[in-house]
Chain A
Amino acid sequence: MSSSMHPFRRYMRGHVTRTTTCPGCGNGIITQAILRAIEGLGQDMDDFVFVSGIGCASWIPSPLFAADTLHTTHGRPIAFATGLKLGLPGKSVMVISGDGDLAAIGGNHLIHAARRNIDLTVVLVNNGIYGMTGGQTAPTTPRGVATITSPYGSLEHPFDICAMVAAAGAPYVARWTTYHPRQMMRSIKKALQMKGFALVEAISQCPVQFGRAARLGKAVDMLKYYKETSVSRKRVQDLDVEELRDRIVVGEFADSEKPELATQWIHLREEVMEG
């Protein structure tokens, strides 16, 4: 046996030797994108606090990452992270959770954190379904997809999470799929470097639940599907409505600057304590 070790093992708790993800899950690709971004920026795990909620994606940092990790109740990681960031303004606070956690039960906290512009990096893993609980309809499930709770096909329209979060005021918003790990990594890097609320939506394959419900096949088939259906946001204006049907628009949806909450609090305290 060689004594070689995966280069990212140093970012992980020594006693954790396995993950809870199913074979073919996109969590591994996203974990790598996150850790490559951290490595690329030369950051240490002690510079971070990771917060996650309930669902498969929430187990990316907890217990795997060798850092301060807070695993919270369903839907609330952004609310917990808001208090953490205000209490530890010098740390990078990253929220990693799923579409059900952040956009359904936790939707209110998502839009309000974007509005407040608090310096959080949110990696929202969107698999389009409730994976852990057995394949129920999510607010991201495409209309017509038959899930276990919409066996005749979902009648509802899905959220466009990036458009919603950008409209709520977030200065940095991007979407990539697990077919785009390098772009995803670059967006996470950018999100970590900018001061403000940043959301990176990671469209991710759940072959066990969504792949079956949407008849998209296995993990590799789903990655091929992402390759074929994704279209750059820059190209969208060249396509008509028919050409855009069922396409995944990837790229940056917001990239701007505005006053950030935790920084403003530092200035405010200095001002009123002196005055």
Chain B
Amino acid sequence: MGKGKRVLTGTYFEMGNWACAEGAIAAGCEFVAGYPITPASEIINRLAQRLPQTGGTVLQTEDEISAICSAIGASWAGCKALTATSGPGISLMQENIGFAVATETPLVIVDVQRLGPSTGVPSVGLTADIVQVARGSHGDYQIIALCPESPQEIFDLTIRAFNLAERYRVPVFLMADGFIGHMREQIVIPGQDRIEIEHRKIPEPGKTPMERQDFLDVDVAPMPVFGRGLKAHVTSSCHDEHGMRNLSDPEIMHGYITRPIEKILIHRDDIIRIESDCDGADMAMVSYGTVSRSARAAAHLARAEGLRVGTVRMLTCWPFPDKEIKQISEDLASMLVLENNRGQLYPYIKAESARACQVEFLGPQTLGQIHDPRYILAHLKEMMA
């Protein structure tokens, strides 16, 4: 059924992890590497069956370090590549996440987050990797992280993750969690003609690396993928715009750090997506990922009681939507930040909004459980009192 088809147009009742695999194939994924881990395994399981039928390759590696390294290698071979894991796998991948950033390698990394620290609880979701994916590798850098709230959005944002990775030559994280990864819900896959697919720019042959700019362009240099006689020189060590190692020139060191950061920040308006439903609201709940479902339910309950409560949902958490949060806060009296952790993005949100309004944080009643909308409502009332 559907053998060889890239896009399985239709309506389904399937898991978020299934949607991720299908989103990857629809986006043109050609290479997947992964290591088994709960609650992410179904992504690789599905791709192992489906990807070869569409001409792709699947590699089950000896560990997550090998998974991300081989995915980066495949990306330099010219393939759209993905790896999928959970928090412990991300921890192992961190060094080479930095490699992908430093070498400006397009790559999609799916993190189906689980309860930690350490081995924690494999099957329970906790969105506590949100800072580690942005700050976990050593050095200073920017990545892109997208936060879906449902299986449908896992499908949609997996495609967007590939497109952003190709457009900006950067690793893009899809931050799912154990709840929506394993949740079954309606998934609508549109027709192939309605799915936009992007491909990285590649330099024309004929010039040497010393005559080209292969790296460090804030407007994204064409990627000199291997196997085309481009004689690309790729290193994650400090390098100039030709990719040549330079460990002595302070100006080059400065550019090596700042240009890949600026590449993301200059284009932040294109990358950042935020949904705000705050018309006429005095206060708003700010959330991302699975928790947004509880926030929406709590807003319904609050409005039914005549309370003017809005919702703000960050579909992009990195680069951080600082400007948007600040702007929204200026029309509000108070903000309640909801996260399924002990407040990882709260300091970032507070830094932008605390000048304009009162800001508080609310985790779930019990960490690892989904916020009960009635529990949120009770807290909203306390804040308003």
Contact = CB atoms under 8 A, between A and B. Distances in A.
A193 B122 CA distance: 46
Given A79-B66, A83-B71, A86-B59, A71 B52 contact: no
A62 B73 contact: no
A80 B57 contact: no
B76 A70 contact: yes
Residue of A67, A84, A269 contacting most chain B CB atoms (<10 Å): A84
Nearest to B73: A83
Instruction: Tell me what chain B mostly uses at the interface: helix, strand, loop, or mixed.
Output: mixed
Contacts, number: 142
B77 A82 contact: no
Given A63-B245, A68-B232, A87 B79 contact: yes
Contact of B53 (A86, A91, A273): A273
Contacts of A112: 61-62, 66
Contacts of B232: 68-69
Nearest to B78: A87
Contact of A87 (B66, B73, B236): B73
A84 B245 contact: no
B321 to A, nearest CB: 31
Contact of B96 (A70, A73, A81): A73
Contact of A72 (B31, B209, B236): B236
A45 to B, nearest CB: 7
Residues of B in contact with A, size category: 35 or more
B208 interface: yes
Nearest to A82: B70
Contacts of A275: 3
Interface of B: 3-4, 30-31, 33, 52-57, 59, 61-63, 65-66, 69-79, 81, 95-96, 99, 208-210, 226-227, 229-237, 244-245
Given A13-B210, A62-B235, A81-B73, 13 more contacts: A15-B210, A15-B244, A66-B231, A79-B69, A79-B73, A82-B61, A83-B31, A83-B76, A87-B77, A109-B69, A269-B56, A269-B57, A272-B52
Interchain residue pairs A-B with the least CB separation, the first 5 = A87-B77, A83-B73, A83-B70, A79-B69, A83-B74
30 contacts: A13-B209, A13-B231, A15-B210, A45-B231, A46-B229, A49-B226, A62-B245, A68-B227, A68-B231, A70-B235, A71-B233, A71-B235, A72-B236, A73-B69, A76-B96, A79-B69, A79-B73, A80-B72, A80-B73, A82-B70, A83-B59, A83-B73, A83-B74, A85-B73, A87-B73, A87-B76, A90-B227, A91-B226, A109-B62, A109-B69
